[in-house]
Chains A and B, each alone.
Chain A
Amino acid sequence: MTMKKKGWKDITEGNIIDKPATALEYKTGTWKAFRPIWIKENCIQCKFCWLYCPDMAIKMKGDKMTGFDYEYCKGCGICAKICPAKKKAIEMKKETEFEK
């Protein structure tokens, strides 16, 4: 996850980002205190989670939601909150539960 940092001679002037979609290189997965868990059998494939996710943590295959990309998930919980399925298809769990 760590990139070798550039020196002052090798960066753009005034912190201009000179190309689009560089957020792809900025991974924030270590920030989260809660982790969303996808419960596949409850999912109604409404794609609300994909629409509402402020980052790009919802993995899609065609128009199907297929789970989470945790490298981009900050654990905000919006997806779980917005999930309209009768039985929630996304559940937030404490990150500590996954620690050994």
Chain B
Amino acid sequence: MSIMANYHALTGNEAVAYAMKQIAPDVVAAYPITPQTSLMQKFSDFVADGDVDTEMILVESEHSAMSACVGAAASGVRTMTATAANGLALMWEIVYIAASSRLPIVMPVVNRALSAPINIHCDHSDAMGARDSGWIQLWSENAQEAYDNTIQAVKIAEDPDVRLPVMVNLDGFVISHGMENVDIYDDKKVKSFIGEYKPLVNLLDLKHPVTIGPLDLQDYYFEHKRQQAEGMMHAQKAIDKVGKEFGASFGREYDIVEGYKLEDADFVIIGLGSTMGTLRMVIDEARKSGMKAGFLKLRVFRPFPKEIVRKHLKGKKAVAVLDRSDSFNAVSGPLYSEITSALYGVADIPVVNYIYGLGGRDTSVSMLHRVVKDTYDISKSGKCDNILNYLGVR
């Protein structure tokens, strides 16, 4: 099938705003926060210009934004918002309620460091803090992926076996404000891809009255949590299916993870987001100097693809995990803990951890060269003396 590309020079935020225009959610409730601001600003332009008939609710805080989204989603309409960092932190209480009430809200999170000290630049501490909230988490390497993930997120969230909210993560500034060529799909094709939303319940259907969010004590809360876990277990299948359908419709197929020179690699670097783009070049260079490096990029962090990680890492001689957030006083960074848990009892591979890029600290090619070289050394010696490393800190 030949698909004509339709490239536009867009920032990541503009690309996601454009996806939102094409999705045309019934309700968007949002509050501005750097680096999400230009995303919602662009989307509100579309609303003001009449390019999309979304009901746009401007609220006084992120707590209210997510509350309004919960109300809208409960009334059976397609609902979106977007936030970052402290905004996500302020939403916290309602972020859990959205997931537990099984409301398929889609929320781009433009990843930014949490305060204090106050900082507006990229790291992953915002989304990592919400990793146990019951939201599906998709991660983007560049503006194209942010655009594509946003469209797919709607279909994943609304899958009848899933019905969970989805966060679409894109690195603050690096992706959100960097301009790239983005292949924009035809409006009608996006519309037919996401299809019509068929809500499970509709709070405004007066002929079939329902109650949403009632008290649930010792007798049933536990059962509802087990049920929620089941929804998350189904999510991986849905993400996989939607990724394949996306490929058939738009020519870009998406997997749960992406490997780069992975198959014949002796050692593997694992990470999320935009840094993986830089890493492609670093791996190419390492290959030229005889180091058989490869990477494993996780497009999906929640649900955590443990079997897929195991499958790809089995037989490798060393693994390095890049964490763009710290998990103070834990074994190491949050991604590291997941990877080593997945490998426990399955493969005995040395795994090293790098905390990097906090508060938008640039992660240079030379820093990633160091990671590759160190991991190469570990793959040769079979020993990792220092698990926790802070990459690029003075």
Residues of chain A at the chain B interface (Cβ within 8 Å) = 5-9, 11, 13-20, 22
Contacts and interface: CB of A to CB of B under 8 A. Distances in A.
Contacts of B103: 14
How many B residues touch the partner, as a band? 20 to 34
B212 A14 contact: yes
B100 interface: yes
B201 A11 contact: no
Contacts of A14: 100-103, 163, 212, 224, 228
B214 to A, nearest CB: 6
A5 B100 CA distance: 20
Contacts of A13: 102, 163, 200, 227, 231
A18 B223 CA distance: 17
A88 B17 CA distance: 67
A20 B102 contact: no
B210 interface: yes
B223 A17 contact: no
Contacts of A17: 210-212, 214
A22 B220 CA distance: 15
A11 B214 contact: no
B223 A6 contact: yes
B117 interface: no
29 contacts: A5-B220, A6-B223, A7-B223, A8-B227, A8-B230, A9-B227, A11-B220, A13-B102, A13-B163, A13-B227, A14-B100, A14-B101, A14-B102, A14-B103, A14-B212, A15-B213, A15-B214, A15-B224, A16-B201, A16-B210, A16-B212, A17-B210, A17-B211, A17-B212, A18-B201, A18-B208, A19-B209, A19-B210, A20-B209
Interface string B213-244: 11010011001101110110000000000000
Interface of B: 100-103, 163, 200-201, 208-214, 216, 219-220, 223-224, 226-228, 230-231
Given A14-B163, A18-B210, 15 more contacts: A6-B223, A8-B226, A8-B230, A9-B227, A11-B220, A13-B163, A14-B102, A15-B216, A16-B102, A16-B210, A16-B211, A17-B212, A17-B214, A18-B208, A19-B210
Nearest to B223: A8
Contacts of A20: 209
Nearest to B216: A15
Contacts of B230: 8
Contact of A11 (B208, B211, B224): B224
B210 A11 contact: no
Contacts of A7: 223
Nearest to B231: A13
A18 B103 CA distance: 15
A92 B208 CA distance: 39
B219 A5 contact: yes
Contacts of A16: 101-102, 200-201, 210-212
Contacts of A15: 101, 213-214, 216, 220, 224
Contacts of B200: 13, 16
Kindly list the 7 A-B residue pairs having the minimum CB-CB distance in the complex, ordered from nearest. A14-B102, A17-B211, A8-B223, A8-B226, A14-B101, A20-B209, A13-B102
Nearest to B101: A14
Contacts of A18: 201, 208, 210
B227 A11 contact: yes
A22 B216 CA distance: 14
Contacts of B231: 13
Contacts of B211: 16-17, 22
B329 to A, nearest CB: 34
Contacts of B224: 8, 11, 14-15
A19 B220 CA distance: 17
A18 B200 CA distance: 10
A14 B295 CA distance: 38
